[in-house]
Structure 1
Amino acid sequence: MRLKTGLATFAALVLLAGCGGYDETTTPKPEEPAAPSAAPPPDCTNDASALRSYAPTGDVGSGKSVQEIKKSGKLVAGVAGDTYLLGSRNPDDNQLEGFDIDLAEAIGQKIFGEPGHVEYRVITAADRIPFLQDGTVDIVARNMTVNCSRWEQVAFSTVYYDAGQKILVGSGSGIETPADLAGKKICASAGTTTVDNIRTLVPDAEIVTAPDNSRCMVKFQNGEADAFTSDDTVLAGFAAQDPYAEVLKTERLSQEPYGIGVRKDRVDLVRLINQVLEYMRADGRWKASYDEWFKDQLKVPGVQPPPVYGR
């Protein structure tokens, strides 16, 4: 039944919106960040050191990169266009919306002092680093995991969301744990940490890749893959739109801390983004965005990652 309705289900993507409620929490006002040490920090060598970013000290709007963006009249943001809850097109008005889109809008408003200056480029996961490096985009707000190997190529903001990898399967498929995928086909988006993770966790599975999440979902719905693995934020959106799919109720297979990606030499832009994230945590905008997009689908209250500085 699921295979017959696959294409119709996919055609109906992004037609739902999350809702629901948790008790309100009080968020503190942002404190003035401490000045970074004069001595350079150790190299990025592990998961903990990868989470450090540049403190938003001084006048974050006066740097060269930020001034270049102001002069251009637009902030070019690389985003997803097919990932419901994070970045997808609303079929009613054809506008992009989602958690990552809210962050990009807040950054653009900080730079220009008003909304309406963000130009979106829908990109694949594999595009993220090359498009930052060649200047196609100014920032990437596309569920991008922060790690040491990527810090060698680009720079990151502090972590704005802690996600984790999970697995989506067909209801009644008999697949209940990752071990049940041995000898089966599982789809993952090319150019993501997901591919390496699942290869390590289930070495006997056959990895099928696709350029983006929506095409992985099509492969799954058409029977070309027995399962689809990605971040829990991504899979929650697809499961909400396909009554014949479910996310395995297992522990996360990995930790996937999301950061805003920036070209490596544009440190002043990173500092500005980190200030935006601090204020969003403190004034309720982060929580409001989480509540709108994730709270009902992920079934857990949002925990705001604290900023970690030291670069």
Structure 2
Amino acid sequence: MTGNGRRGRRILAAAVVAAALAGVLSGCGGPDDVSTATGSTQPAATQPSATAPVAANPEGTNAPLPEGAAVAPSPTGEPAPEQCSNPTASLRPFPDGAPESPALDRIRARGRLVVGLDTGSNLFSFRDPITGSIEGFDADIAREVARDLLGDPNLAEFRILSSADRIPALQDRLVDVVVNTVTVNCERREQVDFSTVYFEAQQRILVAQGSGIHGVADLAGRRVCTVAGSTSLTHLQRAEPDAIVLTVPSWSDCLVVLQQGQVDAVSSDDSLLAGLASQDPYLQIVGDSLSPEPYGIGINKYDPDLVRLVNASLERMRQDGTWSRIYDRWLGILGPSPGPPVPHYQD
């Protein structure tokens, strides 16, 4: 197909969806407020959108879209940003425990490790509906870091962040670390620092059974959900620029709009998609990988001692079997444990 033909089809399809999702193109409100969660059943606070877009379901159910939903602008065709040498290389762990340092002493004086995550990433971080506590693979990894720094895994205090708020929260020191399925890449490394990789995922596609979608090529002219502030949007638009992308605040929102027929597919890391699929037996993950997604623990760029402490904790988890036990507890749905990722260091 010619470039003009693809562009014309994309414009026409976008116009149809824009009409069906009336009001969404006007944008969304402010990001979710950061709220604390220490096992309480009180939900995270959110800030209402000034526009509060509500749109009819394209399939005719008149179900409202999630607050903050927006149709992503069409890709510009700009080349991918220049890559750095090895974004996953981190600082070596302390060889003999954790010394005194401003970053570590600040956390010790407070008596708790403030951890940013969300509660919409089933299997990785979610609120248990019975106990009200935050559970999942990421939550348990964070508790182990608190154990090594403060002597007690229960001294991890969780603050709820949207995907778009993760980097700003680190830069503004609203949290000490972010353990929230954050993909390590060169662009983010310019803004914050990262631990070694603690989990490796692959971006794929989630659809309803019988959808006729088998891979990324089938997404041309289709509506696809992803989360604002995630790397999934960029990778998806590069792989299939004719896809019409709806961004929402959380992955649980993507599950809702897929089930309601407001989108045809969801694209994200297979680890997150597995968490969504576990909640609906009529959903399936399809297609080859769009991109590797190495997860690292985000840390403020000016806290190298905290980076080394976190890496020491991750190394301990690799060596004593803790990582594999956490994997088996939460991620068995992905298959047998592949073992923890091999760390790479820059010094």
Match of 1:275 among 312, 332, 337: 312
Quote the Cα distance in structure 1 between the aligned partners of 2:340 and 2:60.
40
- Indicate if the aligned counterparts of 2:145 and 2:153 stay in contact, CA closer than 8 A: no
Give per-residue Cα distances to partners, 1:14-48, cap 9 Å, x unaligned.
xxxxxxxxxxxxxxxxxxxxxxxxxxxxxxx7465
Shift of 1:165: 0.4
> Which is greater in Rg?
2
Give per-residue Cα distances to partners, 1:81-106, cap 9 Å, x unaligned.
11111000111101111110011000
Corresponding residue for 1:302?
Answer: 338
- Indicate if the aligned counterparts of 1:78 and 1:123 stay in contact, CA closer than 8 A: yes
Quote the Cα distance in structure 2 between the aligned partners of 1:300 and 1:180.
30
The 1:61/1:93 distance shift into structure 2, 3 A limit, reads farther
Quote the Cα distance in structure 2 between the aligned partners of 1:281 and 1:154.
24
Corresponding residue for 2:151?
Answer: 113
Corresponding residue for 1:254?
Answer: 291
Give per-residue Cα distances to partners, 1:27-74, cap 9 Å, x unaligned.
xxxxxxxxxxxxxxxxxx746510110101354342210110000111
Structure 2 unaligned segments of length 5 or more: list them.
1-58, 64-81
Q: Secondary structure at the match of 2:158?
A: strand
What is the root-mean-square deviation of aligned Cα atoms in Å?
A: 1.8
The 1:110/1:61 distance shift into structure 2, 3 A limit, reads farther
Corresponding residue for 2:31?
Answer: none
Residues 1:287 and 2:324 are matched in the alignment = yes
Q: How does 1:235-246 map to 2 (within 5 A)?
A: 235-246=273-284
Q: How does 1:173-188 map to 2 (within 5 A)?
A: 173-188=211-226
- Indicate if the aligned counterparts of 1:194 and 1:229 stay in contact, CA closer than 8 A: yes
How many residue pairs are counted as aligned between the two chains?
269
The 1:102/1:48 distance shift into structure 2, 3 A limit, reads farther
Corresponding residue for 1:77?
Answer: 115
Q: Secondary structure at the match of 2:337?
A: coil
Quote the Cα distance in structure 2 between the aligned partners of 1:83 and 1:61.
34
The 1:280/1:93 distance shift into structure 2, 3 A limit, reads same
Corresponding residue for 1:65?
Answer: 103
Quote the Cα distance in structure 2 between the aligned partners of 1:54 and 1:156.
9
Q: Secondary structure at the match of 1:259?
A: strand
In the superposition, the TM-score normalised over structure 1's length comes to 0.83
Q: Secondary structure at the match of 1:92?
A: coil
- Indicate if the aligned counterparts of 2:324 and 2:337 stay in contact, CA closer than 8 A: no
Residues 1:210 and 2:251 are matched in the alignment = no
Shift of 1:309: 0.7
Which structure is higher in RCO with an 8 Å CA cutoff and minimum separation 6?
1
Task: Tell me whether 276-285 or 172-181 shows the greater mean CA deviation.
Answer: 172-181
Quote the Cα distance in structure 2 between the aligned partners of 1:214 and 1:164.
19
**Aligned residue type for 1:253:** L
Structure 1 unaligned segments of length 5 or more: list them.
8-44
**Aligned residue type for 1:178:** V
**Aligned residue type for 1:298:** L
Q: Secondary structure at the match of 1:109?
A: helix
Quote the Cα distance in structure 2 between the aligned partners of 1:110 and 1:300.
27
Residues 1:128 and 2:166 are matched in the alignment = yes
Quote the Cα distance in structure 1 between the aligned partners of 2:85 and 2:252.
31
Quote the Cα distance in structure 1 between the aligned partners of 2:60 and 2:103.
51
Quote the Cα distance in structure 2 between the aligned partners of 1:61 and 1:82.
36
Q: Secondary structure at the match of 2:167?
A: helix
Match of 2:179 among 135, 141, 144: 141
Shift of 1:174: 1.0
Give per-residue Cα distances to partners, 1:157-207, cap 9 Å, x unaligned.
000011110100011111112111111000000001100000000111101
**Aligned residue type for 1:197:** H
Q: How does 1:28-107 map to 2 (within 5 A)?
A: 46=83, 49-58=86-95, 59-107=97-145
Quote the Cα distance in structure 2 between the aligned partners of 1:69 and 1:259.
20
Quote the Cα distance in structure 2 between the aligned partners of 1:155 and 1:264.
5
